[in-house]
Amino acid sequence: MNALLAAVLLSLVSAVCYATAAIVQERLAATTAPSRYGLLRSAPWWGAVALNSLGALLHVGALGLGPLTVVQPLGVLTLVLAAPLAAVLVKRPVSRAAWQGITLVSAGLAGLLVLTGSATSRALNGAEQLTLAGAVACVLALLLLTVTTAGRRVRLLRTVSLATAAGVAYGASSVFVKTVADSWQVTALVMTVPAVLLIAVLAAGGLAASQASYRGGGLATPLATTTVVNPAFAAAVGIVLLGEGFRYGPLGIAGALVAAVVTVWGLVVLAADSTGQRIGITAARQVPAEGPGPVVIRAPGRLSGAVHEAAGRVPAALHPRVPTSKH
């Protein structure tokens, strides 16, 4: 088995771990009351953390075997696998639109893999690491400011901002993981400590932002945003700073852009389908199945407290008053 195929297989198993963890996180966000430390007492949440950690370890192994422009787009499989896994784990049916989105994402991802070059990339040097860390800090600060400003009034903006922050954090941590993996043999261990600490901070921040994005945002919208931003950010760094690229020159770049558009289109279809299902479920819960219930009309005297089934016939305000009997 060559290194590139091993990287693809490790990325596939990693995507399964991430998708399962995302389903658990979304269910916890939807079924538990907001609490700053409540999740720390939840066994399912720690199970999701363990799955995310396993996925991260497999992802690190894949990064050590393949280039960023190959490994990172495979993270989109997380969203592709989420719908079928949700159907199995939480009995959530997969709609026709969801299958269409999965097909589009898979086709776009296959195109990216075919066109991605496999040339050996270099590691980031010290100055480039500092530059990237500063840029990531500025982007995350801007996104967190957006979340704070929007608050809970603009739920979609809050969800997308948090999911974008998670994607940037995960993508940046992948870049630093790739740098540490590539320079492990040529750099003293003490020289990698700052990068390892930064990876830990970015991973923890990404986990916190992704968990917060599921609160009121469903599964597909935050997961789609994180899944797109993560590989896009890491691949952009890989192309600009690490010397990675695509095959066939300008034609390959154009084909990769088309494949990326198809992938994003599929992700939008998945997100729209999830949002529509959530709105439909909410509306179904709010509308009574057997029409309006009885109207309680209170009259003075002996009829006080009587229940008249006058729904749809006589408004309560126009109901005739019944005179009281005098004894």
Could you say which DSSP state residue 37 is in? Answer: S
- Counting the structural domains of the chain, the total is 2
- b/e per residue 215-252 (b: at least 16 CB within 10 A): bbbbbbbbbbbbbbbbbbbbbebbbebbebbbeeeeeb
Distance between CA 230 and CA 170 in Å, rounded?
A: 6
Please give the share of the chain, as a percent, with pLDDT higher than 70: 73
Whether 176 and 222 map to the same domain: the answer is: yes
- b/e per residue 128-154 (b: at least 16 CB within 10 A): bbeebbeebeebbeebeebbeebeeee
Q: What tens digit of pLDDT does each residue of 73-120 get?
A: 777 777 778 778 887 877 777 788 878 888 888 888 788 777 876 555
In this prediction, residue 27 carries a pLDDT of 78
Whether 153 and 263 map to the same domain: the answer is: yes
In this prediction, residue 153 carries a pLDDT of 60
Hey, what are 249's tokens?
A: 């020159």
Whether 64 and 119 map to the same domain: the answer is: yes
User: What's the mean per-residue pLDDT of the chain?
Assistant: 75
- Enumerate residues 6+ apart whose C-beta is below 8 A from 96: none
Whether 243 and 313 map to the same domain: the answer is: no
Whether the per-residue pLDDT at 168 is higher than 90: the answer is yes
Q: Which domain holds residue 307?
A: 295-327
Lowest mean pLDDT among 59-68, 264-273, 274-283: 274-283
Whether 98 and 210 map to the same domain: the answer is: yes
- Enumerate residues 6+ apart whose C-beta is below 8 A from 108: 259, 260, 261, 262, 263, 264, 265, 266
Whether the per-residue pLDDT at 52 is higher than 60: the answer is yes
Distance between CA 101 and CA 105 in Å, rounded?
A: 6
Whether 249 and 166 map to the same domain: the answer is: yes
Whether the per-residue pLDDT at 298 is higher than 80: the answer is no
Output 62 or 299, whichever has higher pLDDT.
62
In this prediction, residue 193 carries a pLDDT of 80
- Enumerate residues 6+ apart whose C-beta is below 8 A from 219: 22, 23, 26, 82, 86, 274
Whether the per-residue pLDDT at 204 is higher than 80: the answer is yes
Whether 124 and 100 map to the same domain: the answer is: yes
In this prediction, residue 136 carries a pLDDT of 93
Whether 282 and 302 map to the same domain: the answer is: no
Whether 226 and 322 map to the same domain: the answer is: no
- CA-to-CA separations, 52 to 13, 38, 204, 217, 219, in angstroms, rounded: 12, 19, 11, 20, 16
Whether 278 and 304 map to the same domain: the answer is: no
DSSP-derived 3-state class of residue 92: coil
Could you say which DSSP state residue 21 is in? Answer: H
Give the chain's count of helices (H) and strands (E): 10, 2
Q: Please compute the mean of the pLDDT values over residues 266-281 and round it to a whole number.
A: 64
pLDDT band at 189 (very low <50, low <70, confident <90, very high): low
In this prediction, residue 134 carries a pLDDT of 92
Q: Please answer whether residues 80 and 105 qualify as being in contact, where contact means their C-beta atoms are separated by less than 8 angstroms.
A: yes
Whether 113 and 11 map to the same domain: the answer is: yes
Q: Please answer whether residues 276 and 218 qualify as being in contact, where contact means their C-beta atoms are separated by less than 8 angstroms.
A: no
Whether 62 and 202 map to the same domain: the answer is: yes
